[in-house]
Amino acid sequence: MNILHYFAGGNTPLGFYSYYDEILPPAQAQKTIYIKGGPGTGKSTLMKQLGAHWAKQGHLVEFLHCSGDPVSLDGVVVREKGWSVLDATAPHAQDPKLLGAVDLIFDPGRFVDASVVKPHRERLLELTAAKKACYARAYRYLSMAGTLFSAMTEQQEKALHPNVVAQTAQTFYEEFFAHLPLKENRGRLRHAFARAITPMGVMGYFDTLFDGNEVYVLHTENRVGADGAFKQIAEMALARGISVQAYCSPLFPEKIEHLVLKELHLAITTEALPCKNAIDLMDSARLEQVNRSLSGDSELFNLLLERTVVALRCAKEEHARIEEILIPSMDFEGMQDEFSQILSRLGLS
């Protein structure tokens, strides 16, 4: 199937960090359905079914995974058509920008039988508070991990080869951009996450994102030095009218750790993938010396990350308990029926 998998938002030391506003700019969007409904109302199932249907029709479909439960989806997108269906509930709450002209709101909550749910009011309040507490604990651990990781990478930057960032950018300029003219209309830059910190650990979807592209790997430690090179390469592309997909770090959500330039069939990554095109950013002898001094910090960082994952797993378990209460109250047949009618009316089926 023609499916790309990635995260449009993620758990970071800054809390939940969202790039949902960059999924489809209003000028590019043709039809957007915002689904607003609580746990257990079938949002992810609707999107999985629709995404699989679009893929079978031959469209390239983007599956936006949920960092709180990567088995679930937060959205499906067909970029070439300007179509998207997005979960617009917290923590990635969104509101229509062009309601009626492009955007539509679908509320699965209308298919909840309140008489079934009402007797569980106190239990739902209890579970919701417990889930919130788990996330708060996860973000405290993640904040500490982020602070420590930042200090570690500051030391590891000392092991970069001299001038390697500028030299790397120059290498890509000569290979891919020198012969291309500058354009008045710049390319479009979009951000997302190729990997996320989830209840199942750190997960990534590199195979689908890089498929069909020539892949270059920047060999570095904890991805130090790569962001500077990536930003220079991205600017070269954008100035020549080439669109860029920048995948950012879940620990430094404004730092880039992978680039995909589909128009050039080019992917550049810091992931340690088997690849014939590799550029080494680090002085290995100097790096070994630095890492010896950071061994205790590395152990503490890994422990904090483990505690983060445990807390996220706790939040997922509380979420599942909420769903157990709400699922029996749902008229799924009626909801799917109405959703199918909406898709047909909009020409998305």
Neighbouring CB atoms inside 10 A of 241's CB total 16
pLDDT band at 226 (very low <50, low <70, confident <90, very high): very high
In a domain, 8, yes or no: yes
Do 168 and 99 lie in a common domain? no
pLDDT > 90: what percent of the chain?
90
In a domain, 150, yes or no: no
Predicted confidence at residue 26, as pLDDT, reads 83
- In tens, the pLDDT along 82-121 reads 999 999 998 887 888 888 888 999 999 999 999 999 999 9
Predicted confidence at residue 97, as pLDDT, reads 83
Locate the DSSP E strands across 27-134: 31-35, 61-66, 69-78, 83-87, 103-106
Q: What is the pTM of this model?
A: 0.94
Is residue 274 exposed (0-12), middle (13-18) or buried (19+ Cβ within 10 Å)? exposed
Do 81 and 167 lie in a common domain? no
Higher pLDDT, 168 or 96: 168
Closest CA to 42 of 94, 102, 85, 2: 85
Do 264 and 184 lie in a common domain? yes
Tell me which of 246, 262, 282 is where a domain ends.
Answer: 282
In a domain, 218, yes or no: yes
In a domain, 108, yes or no: yes
| DSSP summary character for residue 192 | E
In a domain, 137, yes or no: no
Q: Give me the count of residues in the chain.
A: 349
Task: Classify the phi-psi angles of 188: left when phi > 0, otherwise alpha if psi is within -120 to 50, otherwise beta.
Answer: beta
- Whether 9 has a pLDDT exceeding 70, the answer reads yes
In a domain, 118, yes or no: no
Strands 244-248 and 256-261: antiparallel
Q: Do 24 and 158 touch, CB atoms closer than 8 A?
A: no
- In tens, the pLDDT along 257-306 reads 999 999 999 999 999 888 889 999 999 999 999 999 999 999 999 999 99
Token pair 């020409």 is at which residue?
Answer: 347
Q: Is the dihedral of CA 208, 210, 265, 260 positive or negative?
A: positive
| Separation of alpha carbons 158 and 162, rounded Å | 9
Q: Which helix (H) or strand (E) holds 141?
A: helix 121-156
Question: C-alpha distances in angstroms, 316 versus 27, 70, 249?
Answer: 36, 11, 22
Do 179 and 262 lie in a common domain? yes
Is residue 254 exposed (0-12), middle (13-18) or buried (19+ Cβ within 10 Å)? exposed
Tell me which of 282, 297, 320 is where a domain ends.
Answer: 282
Do 167 and 256 lie in a common domain? yes
Supply the range of the domain harboring residue 103: 3-112+331-346
Do 278 and 167 lie in a common domain? yes
Give how many domains the chain has, as a whole number. 2
| Residues 31-43, mean pLDDT to the nearest whole number | 93
In a domain, 28, yes or no: yes
| Separation of alpha carbons 204 and 195, rounded Å | 4
Closest CA to 159 of 317, 287, 263, 45: 287
Please report how many Cα atoms fall inside a 13 Å half-sphere around the Cα of residue 54, on the Cβ side: 27
* Averaged confidence pLDDT in the chain: 95
Q: Do 160 and 225 touch, CB atoms closer than 8 A?
A: yes
| Separation of alpha carbons 187 and 237, rounded Å | 7
Predicted confidence at residue 1, as pLDDT, reads 56
User: Which of 48-52, 94-98, 124-128, 209-213 bottoms out in mean pLDDT, i.e. has the lowest?
Assistant: 94-98
Predicted confidence at residue 84, as pLDDT, reads 96
Predicted confidence at residue 94, as pLDDT, reads 82
| Separation of alpha carbons 149 and 302, rounded Å | 10
Instruction: Give every CB contact of residue 280 below 8 A, 6+ residues apart in sequence.
Output: 161, 219
In a domain, 70, yes or no: yes
